[in-house]
């Protein structure tokens, strides 16, 4: 059974809103990660200093990838943004989630690393939701395994027809 055009349009609008929210969260995550990464670099532990540096780099990359208008003074920002738009949403989700975990592995007990990595992971989760919704829309998934009114088109009935076997 194919999806009705209303459901298809509703999913398309919802997907677009999820994309905008993910880009907004990505920008905010970039600013927070950059700021808290710099703050974390003030520590005396070398592993936490490395985690803060990585978190700052991740924040900078997120700002360039998700909100290129904030870096309009850089000549390469548009090319980097257009290049990043070629990647699938699932790949972005995995990269953002892994990027959030790496600083946590280096400095597990620092709350600034946790607060800086959490928005990056949230952005990854939002892109994952976007990827799975797009996959469901492309496959024609409507949410029910079987229509309430009867059997699937093209399937054989399991009802007894009255003939003896």
pLDDT in tens, 107-127: 988 899 999 999 999 999 988
Round to whole Å and give the CA distance between 36 and 51: 10
* Cβ atoms within 10 Å of 94's Cβ, excluding its own: 15
pLDDT at 58: 94
Q: Where are the domains of the chain?
A: 9-138
In this predicted structure, the answer to whether residue 105 has a pLDDT above a threshold of 80 is: yes
- CA angle 114/120/121 to nearest 5° reads 80
* pTM of the full structure: 0.71
> Once rounded to an integer, what is the mean pLDDT over residues 73-98?
84
Give tens-digit pLDDT for 35-44: 999 999 988 8
């Amino acid at each position: 059974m194919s999806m009705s055009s209303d459901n298809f349009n509703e999913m398309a609008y919802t997907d677009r809103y999820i994309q905008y929210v993910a880009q907004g969260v990505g920008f905010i995550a970039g600013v927070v990660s950059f700021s808290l990464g710099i703050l974390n670099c003030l520590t005396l532990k070398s592993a936490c200093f490395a985690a803060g540096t990585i978190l700052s780099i991740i924040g900078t990359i997120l700002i360039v990838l998700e909100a290129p208008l904030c870096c309009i003074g850089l000549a390469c920002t548009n090319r980097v943004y257009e290049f990043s738009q070629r990647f699938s949403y699932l790949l972005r989700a995995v990269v953002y989630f892994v990027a959030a975990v790496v600083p946590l592995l280096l400095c597990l007990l620092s709350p600034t690393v946790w607060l800086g990595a959490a928005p990056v992971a949230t952005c990854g989760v939002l892109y994952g939701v976007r990827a799975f919704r797009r996959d469901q829309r492309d496959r024609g998934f409507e949410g029910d395994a079987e229509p309430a009114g009867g059997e699937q088109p093209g399937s054989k009935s399991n009802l007894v027809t009255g003939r003896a076997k």
